[in-house]
């Protein structure tokens, strides 16, 4: 591939007239950003035309940048010259595309050998660069897999998420963690594979409880030879790879042979293993006979919104389904939206041998070729019209329709609750982002602060944050803890330039018209998972940059309403620290527990109002209680996890230079940590695998004098 970069031609500043986004109308169901000013649009067209004159007639990927160097859009083209020239011909675009052109100040290009390579590169660049006019699948909704390790004499079976770097076999994706755990449980009964970690395996001196209840064959202590255990692992691998009939036939023959030899206990064990395998295949909502391995995509459209339902079939078994809610301009057809979903979905996961879709996709051959390239084998992409395959697609389409109807109803209900919250607290409009704070500790130890976030789509768990309270805060000082949490939160928000509320105009990601250059429409899609598929207690200690909502406007990073769990003292502490951080314009409410800690009698504190209560049956009061309880649950859960880590922490972990091997050598030599603490330097130096420097470091750590 060849990379080209040309600087933006000089354009006088007075010719660039960017429209004030704050004057745009309120969000509508369609993604409409208002018209770009004629001067700015003309300047953008001139910039793009200058680049188009020097482009080759080859396939590749182009990137558009604004004056600040931010990536606006990433697109692919069969001919870079023709595609980029189309932007500069003054052809009809939607307002969003016109604004994108008006903001373009620079472009970069990468030529590729084929259009398929361009499609794959486009998908990668969108995920890496996160352009404002293309949005990715959200990373916090990764799919779980079953992992069978290949780097150990006794392979481990385990649940896996994330990058597939460890050597072994990955089977999936599954739609939910529950489906993975249920399948692993059945496979342990059927094949007696270990689920423990390698370090736990290496330190066993006798079989664990799983061996006693016949869920493991006990390779750690030699209860089974490595060769026989590997045979069990091979059977499990064959079963998960689709060769289930052969595995069941083998177990059935062995059961019959054991019964004929009057070894009834052995025959009973084979019977139980067969029953476990049957449970894996029979315990599905829908199974297939003619489709062994496939992903089924179906799309539904209602009220200008889309839902894509995906069913996963492996080994003729239904491994679950997941609803995705792509964000796209309503002028796009369902087939165009679905084409983009399929392309983006397999950016970070291997496709199956068969992909079934509910609509005939544009550029279907190109997408199929890209999937084949990514998988390294043949992948069939089909829109079936009859037979069992069509029945599977129809079932998925019915589920998509029902999921989208539920989401629209939930959004309407959630919006009414937010409106009631705004009325209850005298706000000018309903809050879009509500943040609730709570602290948790025991006598000041393992103190943490928790922040939960709610919006139109309910609890936004990818926006939750935890705050480890520093040792500088006096133990047990709840007011000091709240001050520290809020100071860190709003100081960081101010530093990131998010102190000003973002414009209420819709986000421009997906607004592309049918008149846009070919190929742009399919990539301007936002994909989001269903809210009920969010991982529980999703915590990010990193950036506070928000992911976009499934609404027309991006989910703001700055709250409209802050609720703290506590009385007047917590309220005053929060009010002062928010004023110091320049966030005094944000509505602040403290909620104190009612008399005798009874619900429905909570007292609220706000600036400019006397303490007040809400009517006992007010819907806003129920909603506030839900918010407070969620913050309480989240803070306590984080505190318990931290406390558990401290309880199980090994003092040897705190010594620099002591890794797993040396820690194991010391424990095997002395038996316990207390014995290591009491040991003399000479005794430590006699430990096999521990040199003099390490022995001195251990001795000095436990004997400061």
DSSP string, 217-273: --GGGTSS-HHHHHHHHHHHHHHHTT-HHHHHHHHHHHHHHHHHTT-HHHHHHHHHH
Alpha-helical (H) ranges within 192-225 are 198-202, 209-212
pLDDT of residue 36: 65
pLDDT digits (tens, 9 = 90+) for 364-414: 888 899 889 888 889 899 999 988 889 889 989 998 888 888 888 777 788
The rounded distance, in Å, linking the Cα atoms of 572 and 48 is 55
Q: What is the largest CA-CA distance in the chain?
A: 96
pLDDT of residue 94: 67
Q: Is 100 helix (H, G, I), strand (E, B) or coil?
A: helix
Q: Is 436 helix (H, G, I), strand (E, B) or coil?
A: strand
Q: How sure is the predictor about 236, in pLDDT bands with cuts at 50, 70 and 90?
A: confident
- The yes-or-no verdict on residue 536 having pLDDT over 90 is no
- The yes-or-no verdict on residue 440 having pLDDT over 50 is yes
Span 402-427, mean pLDDT?
84
> 140 versus 608: which is more confidently predicted?
608
pLDDT of residue 356: 93
- The yes-or-no verdict on residue 556 having pLDDT over 80 is yes
Q: How sure is the predictor about 435, in pLDDT bands with cuts at 50, 70 and 90?
A: very high
The dihedral built from the CA positions of residue 685, 691, 696 and 698, taken in this order, carries a sign that is negative
Return all residues near 26 (Cβ < 8 A) that are at least 6 apart. Answer: 504
DSSP assignment of 128-143: HH--TTS-PBPGGGPP
pLDDT of residue 345: 86
> Nearest CA to 51 among 125, 106, 10, 92?
106
- The yes-or-no verdict on residue 520 having pLDDT over 60 is no
Q: Is 309 helix (H, G, I), strand (E, B) or coil?
A: strand
pLDDT of residue 358: 93
C-beta neighbour count of 159 within 10 angstroms: 16
- The yes-or-no verdict on residue 537 having pLDDT over 70 is no
Provide Rg for the chain, Cα atoms: 30
- The yes-or-no verdict on residue 500 having pLDDT over 50 is no
> 439 versus 12: which is more confidently predicted?
439
Domains of the chain, start order: 2-134 (3.40.1440.10), 145-241+243-282 (no CATH), 294-406 (3.30.420.340), 429-502+556-646 (3.30.420.340), 651-702 (1.10.150.20)
The rounded distance, in Å, linking the Cα atoms of 605 and 181 is 46
Long-range pairs, 655-664, Cβ under 8 A, ≥24 = 655/697, 655/698, 655/701, 656/697, 657/693, 657/694, 657/697, 658/694, 658/697, 658/698, 660/199, 661/689, 662/689, 662/690, 662/694, 664/202, 664/203
> How would you classify the pairing of strands 294-302 and 354-357?
parallel
* % of residues, the chain, pLDDT over 90: 6
Span 466-485, mean pLDDT?
79
C-beta neighbour count of 60 within 10 angstroms: 29
Task: Strand 145-149: give its sheet, edge to edge.
Answer: 157-160, 145-149, 168-171
Residue 61 Cα distances to 74, 105, 117, 129, angstroms: 7, 17, 9, 13
pLDDT of residue 136: 47
pLDDT of residue 362: 87
The rounded distance, in Å, linking the Cα atoms of 676 and 701 is 11
Q: How sure is the predictor about 281, in pLDDT bands with cuts at 50, 70 and 90?
A: low
Q: How sure is the predictor about 134, in pLDDT bands with cuts at 50, 70 and 90?
A: low
b/e code 433-460 from CB counts within 10 Å (16+ = b): bbbbbbbbbeeeebbbbbbbbbbbbbbb
Rounded to the nearest integer, the mean pLDDT of the chain is 77
Q: For the chain, how many residues are written?
A: 705
pLDDT of residue 296: 92
Angle CA(374)–CA(305)–CA(552) in degrees, nearest 5?
95
Q: How sure is the predictor about 683, in pLDDT bands with cuts at 50, 70 and 90?
A: confident
pLDDT of residue 404: 87
- The yes-or-no verdict on residue 38 having pLDDT over 60 is yes
What is the reported pTM?
A: 0.60
- The yes-or-no verdict on residue 244 having pLDDT over 90 is no
SS3 letters across 278-296: HHHHHCCCCCCCCCCCEEE
Helix (H) or strand (E) holding 191: helix 177-191
pLDDT of residue 553: 59
pLDDT digits (tens, 9 = 90+) for 320-379: 788 888 777 666 788 888 888 888 888 778 888 899 999 999 888 888 998 898 888 898
- The yes-or-no verdict on residue 653 having pLDDT over 80 is no
Span 80-96, mean pLDDT?
76
C-beta neighbour count of 284 within 10 angstroms: 15
pLDDT of residue 317: 73
Q: Which residue has the tokens 């079939």?
A: 313
């Amino acid at each position: 591939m060849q990379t080209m970069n040309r600087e933006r031609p000089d354009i006088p500043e007075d010719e660039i007239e960017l429209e004030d986004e704050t004057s745009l109308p309120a969000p509508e169901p369609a993604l409409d950003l208002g018209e770009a000013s004629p001067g700015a649009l003309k300047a953008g067209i001139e910039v793009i035309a200058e680049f188009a004159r020097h482009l080759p007639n080859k396939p590749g990927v182009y990137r558009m940048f604004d004056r600040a160097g931010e990536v606006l859009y990433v697109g692919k083209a069969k001919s870079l010259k023709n595609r980029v020239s189309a932007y500069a011909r003054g052809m009809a675009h939607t307002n969003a595309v016109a604004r994108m052109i008006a903001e373009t100040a620079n472009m970069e290009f990468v030529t590729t050998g084929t259009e398929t390579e361009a499609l794959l590169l486009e998908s990668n660049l969108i995920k890496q660069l996160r352009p404002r006019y293309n949005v990715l699948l959200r990373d916090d909704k990764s799919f779980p897999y079953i992992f069978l390790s290949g780097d150990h004499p006794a392979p481990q079976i385990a649940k896996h998420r994330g990058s597939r770097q460890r050597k072994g076999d990955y089977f999936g994706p599954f739609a939910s963690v529950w489906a993975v755990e249920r399948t692993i449980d059945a496979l342990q009964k059927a094949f007696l594979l270990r689920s423990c970690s390698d370090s736990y395996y290496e330190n066993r001196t006798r079989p664990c409880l799983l061996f006693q209840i016949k869920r493991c064959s006990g390779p750690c202590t030699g209860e089974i030879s490595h060769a026989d255990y590997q045979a069990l692992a091979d059977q499990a691998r064959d079963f998960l790879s689709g060769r289930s009939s052969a595995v069941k036939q083998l177990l059935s023959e062995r059961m019959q042979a054991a019964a004929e030899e009057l070894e009834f206990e052995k025959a009973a064990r084979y019977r139980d293993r067969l029953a476990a395998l049957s449970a894996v295949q029979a315990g599905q909502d829908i199974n297939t006979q003619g489709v062994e391995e496939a992903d089924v995509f179906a799309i539904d459209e209602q009220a200008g919104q889309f839902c894509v339902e995906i069913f996963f079939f492996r080994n003729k078994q239904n491994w679950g389904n997941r609803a995705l809610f792509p964000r796209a301009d309503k002028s796009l057809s369902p087939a165009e939206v679905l084409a983009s979903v399929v392309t983006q979905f397999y950016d970070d996961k291997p496709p199956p041998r068969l992909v079934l879709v509910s609509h005939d996709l544009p550029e279907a051959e190109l997408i199929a070729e890209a999937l084949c390239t990514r998988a390294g084998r043949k992948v069939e992409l089909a829109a079936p019209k009859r037979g069992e395959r069509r029945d599977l697609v129809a079932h998925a389409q019915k589920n998509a329709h029902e999921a989208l109807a539920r989401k629209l109803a939930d959004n309407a209900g959630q919006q009414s609750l937010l409106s009631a919250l705004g009325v209850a607290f005298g706000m000018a409009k309903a809050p879009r982002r509500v943040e609730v704070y709570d602290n948790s500790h025991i006598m000041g130890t393992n103190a943490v602060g928790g922040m939960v976030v709610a919006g139109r789509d309910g609890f936004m768990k990818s926006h939750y944050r935890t705050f480890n309270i520093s040792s500088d805060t006096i133990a047990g000082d709840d007011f000091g803890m709240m001050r520290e949490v809020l100071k860190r939160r709003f100081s960081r928000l101010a530093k990131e330039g998010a102190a000003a509320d973002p414009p209420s105009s819709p986000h421009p990601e997906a607004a592309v018209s049918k008149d846009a250059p070919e190929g742009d429409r399919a990539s301007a899609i936002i994909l989001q998972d269903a809210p009920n598929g969010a991982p529980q207690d999703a915590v990010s200690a990193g950036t506070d940059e928000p992911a976009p909502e499934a609404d027309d406007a991006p989910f703001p990073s700055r709250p409209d309403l802050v609720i703290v769990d506590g009385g007047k003292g917590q309220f005053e502490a929060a009010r002062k620290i928010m004023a110091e951080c320049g966030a005094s314009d944000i509505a602040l409410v403290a909620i104190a527990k009612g008399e005798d800690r009874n619900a429905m009698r909570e007292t609220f504190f706000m600036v400019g109002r006397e303490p007040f209560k809400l009517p006992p049956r007010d819907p806003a009061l129920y909603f506030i209680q839900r918010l407070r309880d969620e913050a309480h649950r989240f803070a306590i859960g984080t505190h318990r996890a931290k406390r558990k880590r401290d309880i199980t922490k090994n003092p040897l972990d705190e010594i620099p230079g002591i890794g797993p091997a040396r820690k194991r050598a010391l424990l095997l030599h002395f038996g316990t940590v207390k014995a290591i603490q009491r040991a003399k330097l000479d005794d430590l130096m006699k430990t096999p695998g521990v040199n003099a420097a390490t022995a001195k470091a251990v001795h000095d750590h436990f004997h400061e004098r």
